[in-house]
Amino acid sequence: MPDAPQPVFPKRIFSGIQPSGGLTLGNYLGALKRFVEAQDNGIETVYCIVDLHAITVWQEPAKLRHATRELAAGFIAAGIDPARSILFNQSQVPAHAELAWIFNCVARMGWLRRMTQFKDKAGKHAEEASVGLFAYPNLMAADILAYHATHVPVGEDQKQHLELTRDIAIKFNHDYGVNFFPVVEPVIEGAATRVMSLRDGTKKMSKSDPSDQSRINLTDDSDTIAQKFRKARTDPEPLPETLDGLAERPEARNLVNIYAALGDTTPEAVIAQFGGQGFGTFKPALADLAVAKLSPINAEMSRLMQDVAEIDRILGDGAERAHAIAEPVLRDTREIVGLIRSRR
Ligand code: AMP
Ligand code: TRP
C-alpha cells in the first residue's frame, strides 16, 4: 500500500531560550539575531521563554522572575516585535507540559540516554540530577510540536535535541497511524552557530561558565566588552591570508566568526580584510564592532526593564495568542491517543 500523503504544514518558526542567567553573545549570534531575521522575512514566528526548562536545575524564584523579564527585554531590544511575533513564557500555556507528558510515553529510555547535553550537565552526578533534566528533550519536542512548527532556528548545540523531536513525531505518527505532527527542519545557519569561550577556543561560550571573562553578556557595558576582547586568549601569529589557515587555530577562528556574524558578512570577507594583520589590530576592530552592535541593545534592555508591568503585559498577550494555536492541537492529540473528552 502506498504511504498516505504527508499533509502540507504551513511554514511556522518556533524557538526558545532558557531564562537561566543572562544572555550571552552566543545566544545573540546563534539564536536571537537569527530570530529577528526570520521575523523580518515575514514568516510566522513564535518565540518562547522556556521557564519550565530552566527549573530542571535549581533556580532561586526571585532570580527566575528577574531572568524571565530580562530575557523578554532582550528579545524586544534585539528586534523582536511582539505585534509581529508571538513572544511568551512557556509556563503560561499548559499545552507544553501536557504534550510533554504524552511524549514521555512515546520517547524511549535509550533515546534519552544518548543525549549529550544531559551527560554534560549531569556529569558525574547523574543519580542526583532531576528527572526533569533527563526528560528535558521531550518538553522541547512538545514546545515545537504543540504549534505544528516546521522550522526551528537554534545554535549547533541543539541539533541532537531536534533529531529527537523528529524521532518523536515519526514514532507518534507511526504508532497511531496518522500524519499529525510535522517532521521539523533544524535551521542551523550563519557564521556563528557555535560561539566559543574567549578563554578556551574548544569550549562553547556559555552562561554557566564560572569565568565571566569567558563570555560577553548582553548586559556588559562598552568598557567591559572591549576589555574582554582585548584579553581574549589567542595565539601569537597574525591572521592568515586564507580561511584554511584557521583550521588548527580555534581561538583565532572564533574571533573571525564572531566578527563575520556581527558585521553581517562572511569569514572569507573578514580574512580578506584582516589577513596578515596581528591581533593588536584585529581585536580593537572587533571590540569596536561589538560595542556598536551591542550597546544599543544593552541600552534598550535597561530602558525596558524599568517598566516590568509592561513586559508582563506583553508576555501575557503573547501567551493568549500562543494558547489559541496550541490548544486545538492538544484537543486533536487527546482524540488521537484515545483520551475521552468527558468534561465539556
Ligand atoms: P540556551 O541559553 O541554552 O537556552 O540557548 C538558547 C539558544 O542559544 C539555543 O538556540 C542555543 O543553541 C543558542 N546558543 C547558546 N549558546 C550558544 C553559543 N555559544 N553559540 C551559538 N549558539 C548558542
Ligand atoms: N533546549 C534549548 C536550549 O537550551 C531551549 C529550547 C527549549 C528550545 N525549547 C525549545 C529551542 C524549542 C528551540 C525549540 O538552548
The span from the first CA to the last CA of the chain, in angstroms, equals 39
Pair 52, 85: CB distance under 8 Å: no
Confidence (pLDDT) at 2: 53
Give the pLDDT mean for 74-89: 98
Confidence (pLDDT) at 184: 97
Pair 251, 221: CB distance under 8 Å: no
* Best mutation site among 29, 88, 140, 165 for ligand 2 pocket (most ligand atoms within 8 Å of CB): 140
> Catalytic annotation on 11?
no
Which CATH superfamily does the domain covering 12-188+307-337 fall into?
HUPs (3.40.50.620)
Instruction: Check residue 123 and report its DSSP letter.
Output: G
Distance CA 128, CA 118 (A): 12
- Check if 12-188+307-337 and 212-303 are the same fold: no
What is the per-residue pLDDT across 210-225, written as a single tens digit (0 to 9) for each? 999 999 999 999 999 9
What is the per-residue pLDDT across 171-193, written as a single tens digit (0 to 9) for each? 999 999 999 999 999 999 989 99
45 lines ligand 2 (CB under 6 A): no
Q: Which CATH class is domain 212-303?
A: mainly alpha
CB atoms within 10 A of CB 332: 13
Q: What is the DSSP string of 247-314?
A: TT-HHHHHHHHHHHHHTTS-HHHHHHHHTT--HHHHHHHHHHHHHHHHHHHHHHHHHHTT-HHHHHHH
pLDDT tier for residue 84 given thresholds of 50, 70 and 90: very high
Domain locations in the chain as residue ranges: 12-188+307-337, 212-303
Given the residues 33, 204, 228, 293, the one annotated as active site: 204
**Nine cell digits for residue 232:** 581574549
Residue 5 scores a pLDDT above 60: no
